Amino acid sequence: MAQLFFKYGAMNSGKSIEIIKVAHNYEEQGKPVLLFTSGLDDRDEVGSISSRIGFKRTAIPIFAETDIFNMVRNYHPRPHCVLVDEAQFLTKTHVLQLAKIVDECNIPVMGFGLKNDFRNELFEGSKYLLLYADKVEEMKTICWFCERKATMNLRIDSNGKPVYTGDQIQIGGNESYYPVCRRCYLHPPI
């Protein structure tokens, strides 16, 4: 029976490399998958899943008006799995569409993304994946500054100083965010 999975973690926890690995494992067995990613993420290029260690895959970009359910339902050959990177940027409607893919098409769906933003607030997509997912799994990484588990994302400005206010969405990598533990989030050693 298919299920909806949400695999979340702080920045640098290996979410993108994991989605590429899962896709490879299915495809190596001759089982097609559909890869999606947020149309907001333009770090590499729109419609691209890129890991920090250099692996890259083309994916279907998701925008506000994208109907994921109909895309998957009408796709041939029928995918054995649907994989979604940057799932924190999904809307509630998108998450409900993913649940519908699982429930009506019996296709497993795995969403990978951040749980919380740099202000330590839930993203919309993450909130609804936490509510609707059949299984939730944390992907772990270590704090940028100490040896504790990173559970938060610290935004930094161009001078390397912490930022705690501003727009929720600012696309960036190590030049803009560090994975940190709670202590280093509240009292960063920079």
Residue set of the binding site for substrate: 169-172, 177
Binding-site positions for Zn(2+) read 143, 146, 181, 184
Gap between the Cα atoms of 127 and 132, Å rounded: 9
Contacts of 132 (CB under 8 A, 6+ apart): 4, 95, 96, 98, 99
Binding-site positions for ATP read 9-16, 85-88
CA dihedral 122, 125, 129, 130 (to 10 degrees): 0
- Assess whether 86 carries a catalytic annotation: yes
Which tokens go with 95? Answer: 């998450």
Binding-site positions read 9-16, 85-88, 143, 146, 169-172, 177, 181, 184
Gap between the Cα atoms of 66 and 2, Å rounded: 22
Beta strands at 109-113 and 81-85: parallel, antiparallel or unpaired? parallel
Query: Which one of the listed residues 18, 27, 28, 86 is annotated catalytic?
Result: 86
Query: Quick one: three-class SS letters along 6-41?
Result: EEECCCCCCHHHHHHHHHHHHHHCCCCEEEEEECCC
Name the residues annotated as catalytic: 86
